[in-house]
Structures are given as structure tokens and as C-alpha cells.
Structure 1
Amino acid sequence: MAIAVGSEAPDFTLKTQDEKEWKLSDHRGKNVVLLWYPLDWSPTCTKENCKISAEPVLAGDDTVVVGISRDSTWSHKAWKNAEKISHDLLADPMLQVTKQFGLEHPAVPFISQRATVIVDKQGKVAFCGIQESTGDERDWAPIQDALKAL
């Protein structure tokens, strides 16, 4: 079951594509958009991450956006460089953080669902949305509305 809106977001530390530690609590005071996606290099995941980089769909001075998947840091780095992705990509190879947020894929348990969690400036979950059809791009409007409401 996905994490509940209003609950405290579990703190976590994952490695970025550059092997740097990225810790959720280090971003308190900003809204953090956590974008889970199944796999680097796949068509829908590429389309979404490139869209975030090319268009201001989730832009804001007080907003941090990161992608999270089970892929390795080296895969993230190669994909980020090849596709010119501007935000950090976090590696969750054993799906530990994915499981903390209740976002493992029910039909394919070795990947995450395509999901979005917004953690507000105080560390609470302000939004949680799951794209039911993994192959479809997520609906950006509710995510943008949730960010505007913060």
C-alpha cells in the first residue's frame, strides 16, 4: 500500500548518478518531488525525464526534483548524459526506499511503479499518485496542482 498523504515521509539516503549521497532530510525547507520510474532507457521513462528537463512542468525555486529507479548509478549517469536530463537520478537497486514508500510494482516486483510523491517543506507527504498503466506517461496536472497548493 502506498504511503499516505499527511504522514511523515521516511528519511532515506540513496546514491546519485555521480555516486554522491542524497538524503531527503537535507532538503527540508523545500518541496521535494520524488519521481519513481521503472527503468532507465525505456521509452516512457525517457520521455518523462526529458520533459522535466526541457519544460518547466515541475519548476520552482523552492522545488527539488529527483528520479528514483532500481537502476545502478552507472546506468543513471550514462542515461542522464545521453538524454541531457537535468535533475539527479537516485539508485535504489534493492528497492529498499521504494518499499518504504509502498511503491513496488504489484505485478513485476523487481521494479517500482510509475509514481510521484511530493514531500512538503516540513517533511510530510503532500501528494502521492500512481500511474496505473506503467507504460503510460504520468498525468502532470494533479502533480502541478499539488505543488501550487503548497
Structure 2
Amino acid sequence: MAISVGTQAPDFTLKTQDEQDWKLSDHKGKNVVLLWYPLDWSPTCEGENCKISAEPLPGGDTVVVGISRDSTWSHKAWKASKGIRHDLLADPKLDVTAQYDLVHPAKFISHRATVVVDKTGKVAFSDVQESTGDERNWGPIHDVLAKLG
């Protein structure tokens, strides 16, 4: 079961594709969309990350990041190759993924999941795709960001 709505989002620091530290608490005052996906270079993951780059999520105060177990160098190459505009965070040991209870039963990847953290640092939305091969449902994500403003 994924992290519950209304709880304080666990703070974390992960490396971006550029080897820079990315810390959740540095983004308080903005809505943060955490997009967990299984692996770089896979069709559904590519489609979703490219879609967000082409059609940004609503809200001027919205930060989007992708998170997977892939390395920073894989993220960097994939981002450049596909024109992805948001940061991609490396969680190679799935430590942060485990904090959010999003480790896939296969144990070597994350679920395809979305967590929206509001401007105060609380979880405003949490959803896990039943099938990791299916694209996430963007409607509820748009809805919650519209409500959060």
C-alpha cells in the first residue's frame, strides 16, 4: 500500500541526472509531483515522461520529477535523447521508493506510481498503477493540482 494522503511526505535527497542533489524540502511552497516509473528506455515510461515535457501539468507552482532505480548517467542520456524537460532522480537501491511504500513485488523496480506533495509538505494524492505496463491516469492528477492551486 502506497503512502497515505494527509501524511507528511518523508523528506529525501536524491541525485539528478546532472549529479546534483535534489531535496524534497527545498521545494516547500510549491506543489511537487513525484512520478515513479520502473525503468528508463522502456516504452510506457518514455511516453509518459515525453508527454509531461510536451504538455506540462497545471499550476505555475508545480515541480515535476521522475524517479526510478536507473543510474544518473542513464537518466542523463535518456533525458537528452528524448528531450525530457524535468529532472530525473536516481534511487538505485530503492531506499526512497521503500519510504513511500512503492517497491514493486518483483523487488528490483518501483511501481508506476504518482505522489503529489502539496505546498506544506503533505501528501495530497497517491496512486499506484495496477499494471506497470499501463500508462498512469492523468485525470486525477490534473484534478488535484487544480484544487491545490
Bin for the TM-score computed over the shorter chain: over 0.9
What is the aligned-residue RMSD (CA, Å)?
0.6
Q: Number of residue pairs matched?
A: 148
TM-score normalized by structure 2?
0.98
Give the alignment of 1:5-44 within 5 angstroms. 5-44=5-44
Question: Separation in 2 of the partners of 1:53 and 1:130?
Answer: 21
Unpaired segments ≥5 residues, structure 2: none
1:11-42, Cα deviation, whole Å (9 max, x unpaired): 00000000000000000000000000000000
For structure 1, the residue ranges without an aligned partner over 5 or more in a row are: none
1:69-113, Cα deviation, whole Å (9 max, x unpaired): 00000000000000000000000000000000000002x111000
Q: 2:80: which partner in 1? A: 81
- 1:144 counterpart letter in structure 2: H
Whether the aligned pair in 1 keeps the contact of 2:59 and 2:145 (CA below 8 Å) is no
In the other structure, the counterpart of 2:142 is 144
Instruction: Give me the whole-angstrom Cα distance separating, in 1, the residues matched to 2:102 and 2:10.
Output: 13
1:92 alignment partner in structure 2: 91
1:52 is aligned to: 52
Deviation at 1:60, TM superposition (A): 2.4
TM-score (structure 1 length as normaliser): 0.97
Give, in whole Å, the separation in 2 of the partners of 1:50 and 1:62: 20
List, as ranges, runs of 4+ consecutive aligned residues in structure 1 with deviation greater than 2 Å. Answer: none
Aligned partner of 1:131 in structure 2 is 129
Q: CA deviation at 1:59?
A: 3.6
Report the alpha carbon displacement of residue 149 of structure 1 after superposing the two structures with TM. 1.1
Residue type of the partner of 1:112? S
CA distances 1:48-73 after superposition (whole Å, capped 9, x unpaired):
000000113x1421000000000000
SS at match of 2:116: strand
Please name the residue that 1:110 is paired with: 108
Equivalent residue number for residue 65 of structure 2: 66
| Secondary structure of residue in 1 paired with 2:73 | helix
1:118, distance to aligned residue in structure 2 (A): 0.2
Cα offset, 1:125, TM superposition: 0.2
